[in-house]
Structure 1
């Protein structure tokens, strides 16, 4: 795979973004800022393993900017208005008959948050696994903990390209970047992610119940023990199971996750952003700044909101002056911007208790367990200050309600929930395009670089 080949040599250095080191403490290498894979493949030091773990956390967040802006545009949760490059509007919104192609704007190897970046994280994790299993400085339990952590991240990351290209399929056999395996269908790809998460759970369980043996960033501040990391793993597994329509599997995973019906809805692990020399939060925009490049709330989200919904007041900031960008279809007017990020170093959660409670509601509804579904729905509704659910309790009505609550509870999170939700329930035609006169895409083709790889590999 071209994208994997390009990045394998860099896969061990991302940790240097967040940690400084004395190069004299490492194996001798040609460039201390770009150590080779070979330098950690045999008898890596504990500090080298630490760099790989931190590097994996850094790679783990590589998708955030692109997926948050693009997928949430597809689902009409936001518009990413860009005054200097109209393609963020015309192409991403499918205006004037534009459709995705292999050189579709924003998804090449330079902007590959939906394709290349997840595979970078997957390869980083594989390098960590190899280094961990081929060193004598770690105990068997420590090895199990670190490999389990790596498999958890891989399970999460495989779901990103799978949901991006959907029925076109992805490669899951990428152990050899010069000889990747064939594309597999969407369901097989998600089952592969599921299998990695199940493996992670077994490994983390076998590692004992103490703290994770190495240092994790502040994004895991409340999840430093192995038991707590297992809870994250099971939360991700529940998301995977929902895509597979394994409703009982969802509930089983949630029982072993950090879901808490009485707990903080914001609780969960996050991607940290600490500022230079690290990165800043890529979704932060100064409130009311006089700019024409910004993420704004899609007008349909405002129009469809329930009166008095506390989520609207908390998440959407009404600007004094709207942002207006002209396109070749219609002017786009953004009256509200994202209000979730107080500063440019605020961490971005990648799975939260609120999502888990909504997964529980959906699984119970699908299993005909109406009372339990409504109970979970009411946790979300009461937190939003809109009162208990009083609608019909047939399956279709409950799913309508759950998808509606997901739309506001999970608004514009770095996953594109509404786009995926509408697709998995065959409701893409319900997404409102009247404000931009565009098209809602179902899926995307493989990037041209991916096709080129297959062509050149045959020569």
Structure 2
């Protein structure tokens, strides 16, 4: 598998100053631009193909920056996991809402679900600007890059939106010192959907061959092509559409995505992934050796074991029962299971798989509830269940399908970015989450930096 070996982030540039000695004058300073790394101003004016490729590679790297924080923080909120990190008691006290803790500005260790996605968005904006202002590629090639950049950008907006929820997020951040207003949750979803459609239009106008290369995160399942990126774009739109409760929009997007109503583990795992590697690349941030003697580990929340159906192969595949349970000073219960999904510390991490698309399909059909929609939704749910060794269920109406879909999503999408918390909230079921030893939050607070900026402008 090809891995990202070198990351040249065009958002970072170095200004080197040297003293030029002329006679006795030691105060004149001339700027020397690093010839090996393009400045922001440099790439925004007629960037070369190589510079564009560097920015695309950098965007793929930035794209994965949210993974650890979203999995741990949102996963803790939804009680998919516990973050048993003895390095700081706030991983349990604050994250689980113990001791009367409620969300506060600059919530402990939450930058990865707010600042980090906006860094990726900034990288995408830089790539978009550079692409629009270069003569080194054709217009059709520009469309390919723009479609890719906007697709990733749209995906990244969802991450802070999940945390901020009804606080809303800024969407227009092209000018960091003059950002646009905060948009409500619904308005932000509308803008994200529009951006995905804009990216889709770009990809439809793109060159037949991509003028850039992508990692195996796209290539392993054949999404490193224009047609493949279109399918990924539509898959992200399907996910976003169910958040917006646009059921027809979700189904329409799925028709042009990579969804396959096919049973089997290989079918379920088809999708797009974040790739990792050995230095100078980054390791898989969720990997932990089995039975490691550590007090710094993400563990499986016990409710995931308690609520599981007998014979569910998802439980066997994802949860490893440790020889010695893990304890934490702030949780009066040992954790017996840890994450078993990763073979090595360079294993890829999925961010959108066919299994999720099938469950989106079932949910959207049930909510639309026309003609054979309930029967088709039931068949889709049972396709998932049968794949993982569970018997078929009979579902007769929208409510029964939704109940079952939410249950299947807990196990199919466990620790893939906080789906349990997001799903419970959008169906007003946060009170159904097992909140043992704490409180389940609805959303985070707006960061102080944003509040201060608003108050001073």
Q: TM-score, normalised by structure 1?
A: 0.90
Q: Residue 306 of structure 2 aligns with which residue?
A: 303
- Any residues of structure 2 matched to 1:181-330 within 5 Å, and which? 181-208=180-207, 210-221=208-219, 222-262=222-262, 264-327=267-330, 330=331
Tell me, yes or no, if structure 1 residue 398 matches structure 2 residue 401: yes
Label 1:29 to 1:304 Cα distance change in 2 as closer, same or farther (>3 A). farther
Secondary structure of 1:442's aligned partner: coil
Q: Distance in 2 between matches of 1:183 and 1:288?
A: 45
Task: Please tell me whether the aligned partners of residues 11 and 120 of structure 1 are also in contact (alpha carbons under 8 angstroms).
Answer: no
Superposed displacement of residue 14, structure 1:
7.5
Superposed displacement of residue 35, structure 1:
3.5
Secondary structure of 1:95's aligned partner: coil
Q: Distance in 1 between matches of 2:11 and 2:292?
A: 36
Task: Please tell me whether the aligned partners of residues 194 and 237 of structure 1 are also in contact (alpha carbons under 8 angstroms).
Answer: yes
Superposed displacement of residue 103, structure 1:
2.7
Q: Residue 3 of structure 1 aligns with which residue?
A: none
Superposed displacement of residue 275, structure 1:
1.8
Task: Please tell me whether the aligned partners of residues 29 and 39 of structure 1 are also in contact (alpha carbons under 8 angstroms).
Answer: no
* 1:105 paired residue among 100, 103, 108: 108
Task: Please tell me whether the aligned partners of residues 300 and 432 of structure 1 are also in contact (alpha carbons under 8 angstroms).
Answer: yes
Q: Residue 141 of structure 1 aligns with which residue?
A: 140
Task: Please tell me whether the aligned partners of residues 106 and 445 of structure 2 are also in contact (alpha carbons under 8 angstroms).
Answer: no
Q: Residue 430 of structure 2 aligns with which residue?
A: 428
Task: Please tell me whether the aligned partners of residues 77 and 418 of structure 1 are also in contact (alpha carbons under 8 angstroms).
Answer: yes
Task: Please tell me whether the aligned partners of residues 45 and 135 of structure 1 are also in contact (alpha carbons under 8 angstroms).
Answer: yes
Tell me, yes or no, if structure 1 residue 122 matches structure 2 residue 124: no
Q: Residue 22 of structure 1 aligns with which residue?
A: none
Q: Distance in 2 between matches of 1:342 and 1:324?
A: 24
Secondary structure of 2:434's aligned partner: coil
Superposed displacement of residue 332, structure 1:
3.6
Task: Please tell me whether the aligned partners of residues 9 and 54 of structure 2 are also in contact (alpha carbons under 8 angstroms).
Answer: no
Label 1:29 to 1:240 Cα distance change in 2 as closer, same or farther (>3 A). farther
Q: Distance in 2 between matches of 1:143 and 1:29?
A: 31
Label 1:226 to 1:318 Cα distance change in 2 as closer, same or farther (>3 A). same
Q: Distance in 2 between matches of 1:429 and 1:118?
A: 29
Tell me, yes or no, if structure 1 residue 39 matches structure 2 residue 37: no
Superposed displacement of residue 383, structure 1:
0.7
Q: Distance in 1 between matches of 2:122 and 2:398?
A: 41
Q: Residue 163 of structure 1 aligns with which residue?
A: 162
Q: Distance in 2 between matches of 1:95 and 1:393?
A: 40
- Any residues of structure 2 matched to 1:294-373 within 5 Å, and which? 294-327=297-330, 330-368=331-369, 369-373=373-377
Q: Residue 455 of structure 2 aligns with which residue?
A: 455
Structure 1: where are the runs of 5+ without partners? 1-9, 16-27
Superposed displacement of residue 343, structure 1:
0.4
Q: Residue 175 of structure 1 aligns with which residue?
A: 174
Superposed displacement of residue 387, structure 1:
1.5
Superposed displacement of residue 34, structure 1:
5.5
Task: Please tell me whether the aligned partners of residues 124 and 152 of structure 2 are also in contact (alpha carbons under 8 angstroms).
Answer: yes
Task: Please tell me whether the aligned partners of residues 269 and 352 of structure 1 are also in contact (alpha carbons under 8 angstroms).
Answer: yes
* 2:419 paired residue among 383, 408, 417: 417
Q: Distance in 2 between matches of 1:320 and 1:211?
A: 51
Q: Distance in 2 between matches of 1:199 and 1:453?
A: 30
Superposed displacement of residue 143, structure 1:
0.1
Task: Please tell me whether the aligned partners of residues 266 and 354 of structure 1 are also in contact (alpha carbons under 8 angstroms).
Answer: yes
Aligned CA RMSD, in angstroms, stands at 1.6
Task: Please tell me whether the aligned partners of residues 296 and 338 of structure 1 are also in contact (alpha carbons under 8 angstroms).
Answer: yes
Superposed displacement of residue 287, structure 1:
0.4
Tell me, yes or no, if structure 1 residue 384 matches structure 2 residue 385: no
Label 1:289 to 1:165 Cα distance change in 2 as closer, same or farther (>3 A). same
Secondary structure of 2:142's aligned partner: helix
Q: Please give the per-residue CA displacement for 1:400-429, whole angstroms capped at 9, x wherever unaligned.
A: 10000000000011x210100000000000
Secondary structure of 1:113's aligned partner: helix
Label 1:81 to 1:274 Cα distance change in 2 as closer, same or farther (>3 A). same
Q: Distance in 2 between matches of 1:428 and 1:399?
A: 15
Structure 2: where are the runs of 5+ without partners? 1-7, 14-30
Task: Please tell me whether the aligned partners of residues 259 and 354 of structure 2 are also in contact (alpha carbons under 8 angstroms).
Answer: yes
Q: Distance in 2 between matches of 1:32 and 1:447?
A: 37
Secondary structure of 1:72's aligned partner: helix
